[in-house]
Chains A and B, each alone.
Chain A
């Protein structure tokens, strides 16, 4: 039997959520500032060096020689392909941005936890909670990855998506804290949905990286063809290839998670509806997403399908996730239409 809810704590949670959004927006501003400022700094540094020497002196800073992908002759990449910290100029704005993201994530975490306590259950029982908890995981995964790799270049993108998710939750699916309907009263809610949220969070980050990969890749092609560098801020971003490699690693983890989501969902469906698979709209889209990412993993082993095409598959997969979460939940009828909209 569901426990009664604590409405006051639920309101506190909503306040935390608002504060977290504000902190994220501040972080976003600093991330963008970092992109602009670093781009300018590098630009001026480059001009000076170019005056001193005729050869592009920054070539050694980032991309290691000999790699075809990084051999962008006219516009040396500043970002390190190994995405380790260390090289390159100090980025004050980025540091503030990361600090603000940490602060925002802490408040956000408090919001998610209080929501759970207020509702006396896991905080992912409806669209609002799925969105806010998912956004929290996106920012946690991003911060955890930051401790090992310098991914600050995707910061504006990832934090931007977190802000979008929080806005979508608060504006699109506002739901006061409530108890669960009988269909959701199952421990599979904890297992199935938590892994789904975590995998989606990972896919969110790889989506951001794939978009950057496409931008970087077209810039690299342009530079190789001897054209002018129109997207100079991308010098902060590692080469398309290293982006692809890292997003592949993250996508592999997320794919295992998604496979588990699908399986746990099937087991739950068996318990709730009597069949483990019935091509319900939500099941269809979960399957489509699984197939697209399976295609992505295979594409990277198929000649002619690596690089840009693989990135497109990763992007299409993520768009399917967004579609599955929004359009399917709201407009398609099906057994999963419980989401409190």
Chain B
């Protein structure tokens, strides 16, 4: 990250600007070093200068862009572990190879991490020297006045007639002093030099905030990375499905799934609770083209900061999380939970209550799995669909026609046998493995499967028991997040944005004014401007400064004609071209 890393092309006049266009120790300047004679530390230093060179940084940056792409092409474990497992199963040849290359964990993979860590080391390696250089630049005086200001990309001259200079007592020294005051008002830091000679001059500089912005931007990026890491170490997130009327308590066992950060300990969980009182859904009923599209999801919840704390009614919506107990609670999904009672072969209730179904489309055609491991003599299992508004088409296939429950219906296949829950292996509650089970009935069997409306009961064949559809509830899927790095990420990215804006749009300019007296008594004022980096507004600034000086020193009655603008205009247009000469491609 040398001086122009962010602000554009190198300027031409290196002799004047002392512009360190390449980083110290870039390959160009080190090309005379013979590699084999370096020794251990020499090699280290060589590697370091390579790593912190602009070219390497650019290469790593572009490589990072390329490396991020596979994460969008292949399913990723952090987002979708089940899809990844399925993908590997479906592609037994390529799947494991892709997995070996960590293409399902791109953003935590060794190679992706290597790229961004190298990039950040490279970044640190050039932020630090540049920060030191900038600190020195801020403390030092503006650079010395060049001998010939007319060689600068923007320059000009004005003359104060002899009689006018005499009348106002303007001498080269006082003119330089006055120019310095005016420039300081214009935001330049100034330094008057050679005041006692017959050619005093003012060195001025502004726009140091450009480099400051550049440094702030790059440092903030490191800050963002650190914040992300803090979030990953000390944060946690979890998911919980809550059916209407049920509660969630923020303890480890309260979650359906939980992902702790690396340094998480469960005493960080504040034991607040949250009860879902009701869940209101509104679908579009007015517009034909978008009939049935969701318009609003509102969860009415009652929260308690801890056991015994006062209850508080709150509204949870999409895009409007609830903040409680150091966490944010988000509404990320919803669906139907039919209330089902299963009685076993002995007539006892084997399972009872709402069963969460998983919607598979916008019409809430939902998959449902019911497991009754307590049923006797045989455990019972059911797999099927829940349809909010059931219809039967010409082929006799049931489907849902509306997301609202106008004609709720359960379509189930039933099984008996060992559900495989007794050996303690964790099982997916939304999947029933029917491989070891015996089918009692199904949609494809002669008698058909189980079709139940609300309030209906179906007696299972062979006296295995019965199943009743008691009623319908809705549920919400909640995401609970705690990320202590979040505030840092926000602060640093805001700083980065401000720094970036400053570094791209502030012009860093140097300006010199030299005064002198012609033998015939005219006072001659020369000025010249130079930009660091790209600055298309430099000619305009030159004109503005010239006007400033002219307004102060040239009396209007003295005639505007005396105020010469010989160079500014033509050099103004030419400035761009002085940059152009720098082009080395």
| Chain A residues engaging chain B, CB cutoff 8 angstroms | 1-2, 4-5, 7, 64, 66-70, 81-82, 176, 178-179, 181-183, 185-186, 188, 241-242, 245, 248-249, 252-253, 255-256, 259-260, 263, 266-268, 270-281, 284-285, 287-288, 291-292, 294-295, 297-309, 313, 328, 332, 334
Contact = CB atoms under 8 A, between A and B. Distances in A.
B328 A274 contact: yes
A186 B319 contact: yes
Interface string B40-80: 00000000000000110110011011001101100010110
Contacts of A255: 500, 504
B577 A1 contact: no
A176 B397 CA distance: 31
A285 B580 contact: no
> Residue among A186, A242, A302 with the most chain B CB within 10 A?
A302
A301 B318 contact: no
Closest 10 CB pairs of A and B: A301-B4, A291-B65, A182-B318, A274-B481, A176-B289, A186-B319, A307-B585, A284-B72, A274-B330, A67-B577
A248 B8 contact: yes
A271 B320 contact: yes
A313 B483 CA distance: 36
Contacts of A300: 4, 8-9
Nearest to A334: B72
Contacts of B573: 64, 82
Interface of B: 2, 4-10, 21-22, 28, 54-55, 57-58, 61-62, 64-65, 68-69, 71-72, 76, 78-79, 106-107, 228, 237, 282, 284, 286-287, 289-290, 293-297, 317-321, 328, 330, 332, 479-481, 483, 486, 489-490, 493-494, 496-497, 500-501, 504-505, 534, 536, 573-574, 576-577, 579-581, 583-585
A341 to B, nearest CB: 13
Given A256-B504, A292-B65, A182 B296 contact: yes
Given A81-B576, A273-B332, A303-B28, A249 B536 contact: yes
A279 B328 CA distance: 20
A4 B284 CA distance: 9
Contacts of A273: 330, 332, 479
B319 A185 contact: yes
A281 B496 contact: no
Contacts of A291: 61-62, 64-65, 68
Given A68-B583, A301-B9, A179 B72 contact: no
A183 B28 contact: no
Given A249-B536, A267-B490, 19 more contacts: A1-B295, A69-B577, A179-B295, A182-B297, A182-B319, A248-B8, A252-B505, A268-B319, A273-B330, A273-B332, A291-B64, A298-B6, A298-B57, A298-B58, A301-B21, A303-B21, A304-B585, A305-B58, A306-B9
> Residue among B21, B54, B585 with the most chain A CB within 10 A?
B585
8 contacts: A66-B574, A81-B576, A256-B504, A295-B62, A298-B54, A301-B4, A306-B584, A328-B72
A274 B489 CA distance: 14
A263 B534 contact: no
A181 B577 contact: no
B259 to A, nearest CB: 11
Given A179-B290, A242-B576, A255-B504, A271 B319 contact: yes
A262 to B, nearest CB: 8
A274 B237 contact: yes
A242 B579 CA distance: 10
A256 B502 CA distance: 10
